[in-house]
Amino acid sequence: MIKRVVDMGADITLVLGGASSGKSNIAEILCFSSNLPRIYIATAQAFDDEMRAKIAQHKIDRGVQWHTIEAPLDVADTLKTIAPNHIVLLDCATLWLTNHLLADNDIDSQTQLLLDALSNCASSVVIVSNEVGQGIVPENALARRFRVSQGQLNRKLATQANCVVGVMAGLPFVLKGQLPEALKSGTPS
């Protein structure tokens, strides 16, 4: 179960996995198991019909039991506004990073703002992020820059997190901390 805010800073759980591995489903299970009011910070931007459809389906799948805040770039500022005793699902750090890369923003300063906001968040946070370090080396410079930046972001988030859960084929496994009780009861669908 997700703990409420701990004395040494916010309770942070990082959920890592490959594309379509079941990360978001695992993160949602963790949020529901907390029995706290749920806030969903969405970082996706809809630039085409495929992405609009994917976002619409995610909203339907989540249902009305979430307060959704769209923050493709301003996650740090959004986290500062969260009241205590909520559970926040940040989905996902990968799209947040992509948005900043494409906007040609300073990734190091944006990452530090995010890390600071996570440390000071008044509620527990579950972060979804893609693991990209197990693939091939991309052939173009932007893709290589993304891969390096994503790896650095994931390492920094994992360092700050109390718990890091990996997901492969929809199955969770613990990388840091202890596997939350909500994930021990069997295979999530």
The catalytic residues are 58
Distance CA 172, CA 186 (A): 10
Q: Distance (Å, rounded) from C-alpha 75 to C-alpha 78?
A: 5
Residue 109, SS3 per DSSP: helix
Q: Taking every pair of C-alpha atoms in the chain, what is the biggest distance, in angstroms? A: 45
Q: Are 2 and 87 in contact (CB under 8 A)?
A: yes
Cβ atoms 182, 29 nearer than 8 A:
yes
